[in-house]
Structure formats: structure tokens, C-alpha cells
Amino acid sequence: MFERVLLKNVDVPDGHLLSTYEAGGGYRALAKALTEYTPDEIIDLVKRSNLRGRGGAGFPTGMKWSFVPKRADKPKYLCCNADEGEPGTFKDRIVMERDPHQLIEGIAISAYAIGAAVAYVYIRGEYVLAIRRLEQAIAEAKAKGYLGARILGSDFNFIVHVHCGAGAYICGEETAMLDSLEGKRAQPRLKPPFPAVAGLYASPTVINNVETLVCVPHIVARGADWFRSIGPEKSPGPKLYCVSGQVRKPGLYELPMGIPLRELVEDHAGGPPPGRKIKAVIPGGVSAPVIPERGLDVGMDFDTLAAAGTMLGSAGVIVVDDATCMVRVATRIIEFFHHESCGKCTPCREGLNWVVKVLRRIEAGEGAAGDMEQLDMLCKGIFGNTFCALGDGAAMGLRASLAHFREEFVAHIEERRCPFH
């Protein structure tokens, strides 16, 4: 049976307290890192583990860290991306609410590796309990010498601050998050320069997702070979999968990277409600193109899903059953992207507004001849032409819906009503 590592403490009573975390071996990896490894050796260890970022893009974490200049005349920063705005995704919230010290230990080791003295956890403002627990955990860790000056007797001085977001999905995009942290409207920045060279306050900055950072103490404690022994060679490690929608057991599951999507949905999450069949699954949050039921025999890892025309993204798996209208689902997803567009670039700002109007018309049974071609044209105009991935995510998702469920859109137009109502 697969051993849960990242979620080990989440169901433990008082799992958010330092005493619980220490009783389970917490902060020993930090002590090991500070006494047995140089910063470069930690980076090398994470590189050898082949940990890929769990925020969505899957960029190799050790390589990202190695881009930070060794010598810089400015302070270096670590930013933890805890904005988690991708619909269907809730993994980071549960970790922060129920095991915040795991995150703090991961942040401290990662900051040691890149040479940062200050980290900011950018956490969405809605997560009030997670914010409270994280602030409490930081205070506990500071009082015990896991944060602050000369940590555990070493020369490492380091502190973590919590920075609350205020309700903008675009802050999940790392450069928009930096703008937001600097007190500006969150809009993505032109790259290069990349944050590793010029990020927060134009200083070298590493931005990692919560789940990425909580993998780090376990890699230090158990070694790179242990991490690489789990899941596929090119995307190894334990993985948190969020399952929601029309399944019997929605929830957060820790399983090996690469587990078949069908096994995750049907065995672990219990399959569809009684009397219903699965029609489709969105595998990685609403940015990830939808997969029809016939495509569920696919491994849940970065490369396999990319080869299947979709993506792992945030691993926010949303299950849709056969009583649901896919035009409604597609419309709601595009309404989300339209609402959350930061407005910086025209294809996203204007294109999504146009798409929403056409989709709402079709859904209401008022579709016109040529609407399908217009949607195809709009997807083409948005995809690849936007400043950041928000527009791409919207267009990719809609393209997949149009490709796999085109007959439902056409039926709405031809029957001049929703066939599901």
C-alpha cells in the first residue's frame, strides 16, 4: 500500500500544532539540511530527485533554484505561491490548515538553498483559517528557534511573512503575484528578465507552490532516490490530487504521480453517483482541456497528459456525469476566465468577452448559424496571442469542449433549447 507522506498529519488531531509536528519527526530535515548539506548540495539533491513544480507548469525545481545568481548585490527572496485560485483545486488549503509546519520547514530549507533571508507566503485572502494557522505556526517556529536568527545554532538567519491576497485569480501567475506583493494591480510581467534574476523588488526571487515546498523536507530526510522511486521517471514523487464534482467521494488524495485517471476517479473517489455514468473529466483545474470518458485510461503526470492533449495543471480533477450539459460547463468556465482576466492584453480581455456572449446565446437556445465557426475563430485568435497563460488556458479548454462535445453545441443551436432541460 502506498505510504502517505505529504498528508501524513492532516487527519491527526491538532496536526497544525508544533508539538504534533515535532512528535512525527518534524524539523529534523531542517536540522539535517543545516548541518549536513551546503546550500549547493541541497540544490543538487533536489535536482537529483527530479522534483517538478506542483503549481501547474511542472518546471524542474532544482533547476529553477540554480538560476538564482550566486553572488548578488541585492537580497534574495523566496515567495510561496499559496494563491490557489484554480477552480477544482484545494490541496494547498488543506495542507496549510492542517499541517502548516510542514510548509514552514519546506520553505526554510528551500530558502537556505537559494540564500534567501526573507520569504513571503502569498495566500489568498479567502483562506482565513489557513492564514490564522500559518501565522500561529510561524510564531511557534520562531519561538522554538526554527525561524529567526542563527537557526538551530547555524549561521542561517531567516524569517517568513504571510501576505494575504484579495481575490484575483491572476495572482497565481508568478509575475502578477510579484506585482501584487509590491502593492500594485496584479498583472503579468514581460519575461525576461525572469524572477530568478529580477523578481520581487527587482531582486533575485524564487517562486514555488505550496505542494512543491512541502516535498522538500521529505527529499532531504529520505533522499533523492526514494523520491525518484515513486511514479514515472520524468515526473516522480508523491502527488496530491483534488477530486470534486459528480463523484461519490470527493476529496484530497495522495497517490503516486502517474496513477491512471480512471483508477483515481473510479476506485479512490468512488466513481459517479448511483445510476449515472461519467461523461467527462477535467484533469487539472479548469485550465486543463477536458477528457471524454473514453480517454480516462491515461496516467496523471505532466508528460503523459500533455501527450494526451491536456495537462496535469493543478491536479484539480473535476468529474462530470452524463446528465450534465457540456455547453453549461464550458460556458461557466469561460465566464470564470472572462471575470478574472486582468485586462492587460486585448485578445484575452475582448476575446473572452465575445466568447462568453456567444456561449450564453447558444446555451439559451438562441444560437445562430455560424456560431460554431465563430467560436473556432475566437479560440484561434486568443490562443498563443495573450500576454500570459490565462487566455491560453481558456482557449485550450474551449477547444477541447468543442472537439469532444461538438454535437451538444450543435444540438442547442438546431433545437433552439438546451436538450438537458
Partner 1 sequence: MTMREKIEQAAERYPDQRSAIMPALLIAQSEHGHLPGPVLEEVADILGVERIWVYELATFYTLFHTEPVGMFHLQLCDNVSCMLRRSEDLLKHLEEVLAIRKGVTTGDGLFTLSTVECLGACEMAPVMQVGDDYHGNLDIERIDALLARLRAMVPDAAAAARAAAEPSGN
Q: Which is nearer to partner 1, 226 or 420 (CB)?
A: 420
Give dist(CA 278, CA 235) in Å, integer. Answer: 27
61 touches 53 (CB < 8 A): yes
Tell me how crowded residue 368 is: count the other CB atoms within 10 A of its CB.
11
Range list of β-strands (E), 44-179 = 77-82, 118-123, 159-164
Site string for partner 1, 176-205 (x = CB under 8 A): ----xxxxxxx--------------x----
Give dist(CA 151, CA 73) in Å, integer. Answer: 23
Site string for partner 1, 212-231 (x = CB under 8 A): --------------------
Give dist(CA 22, CA 109) in Å, integer. Answer: 16
> For partner 1, which stretch binds (CB under 8 A), given 15-23, 51-59, 78-86, 216-224?
78-86
Q: Which is nearer to partner 1, 185 or 416 (CB)?
A: 185
CB of 226 to partner 1, least distance (A): 28
Give dist(CA 372, CA 244) in Å, integer. Answer: 29
> For partner 1, which stretch binds (CB under 8 A), given 142-150, 226-234, 241-249, 359-367?
241-249
According to the binding rule CB under 8 A, does residue 329 interact with partner 1?
yes
In what helix (H) or strand (E) does residue 318 lie, and over which residues does it extend? strand 316-321
Full strand arrangement of the beta sheet holding 205-209: 159-164, 118-123, 77-82, 205-209
First to last CA, the chain: 44
> For partner 1, which stretch binds (CB under 8 A), given 212-220, 222-230, 240-248, 408-416?
240-248
According to the binding rule CB under 8 A, does residue 58 interact with partner 1?
no
Site residue total, partner 1 (CB under 8 A)? 54
Give dist(CA 63, CA 46) in Å, integer. Answer: 9
Burial 55-93 (b: 16+ CB within 10 A, else e): bbebebbbbbbbebeeeeeeebbbbbbbbbbbbbbbbbb
CB of 234 to partner 1, least distance (A): 28
Q: Which is nearer to partner 1, 89 or 209 (CB)?
A: 89
* Dihedral angle over CA of 276, 282, 284, 287, nearest 10: -150
According to the binding rule CB under 8 A, does residue 248 interact with partner 1?
no
Judged by CB under 8 A, which of 10, 63, 152, 164 binds partner 1?
A: 164
Judged by CB under 8 A, which of 204, 236, 245, 272 binds partner 1?
A: 245
Judged by CB under 8 A, which of 27, 90, 112, 241 binds partner 1?
A: 90
According to the binding rule CB under 8 A, does residue 379 interact with partner 1?
no
Residues forming contacts to partner 1 in the complex (CB under 8 A) are 84-90, 92-94, 124-129, 161, 163-169, 180-186, 201, 242-246, 250-252, 282, 286, 316, 318-320, 324, 328-329, 332-333, 336, 339-340
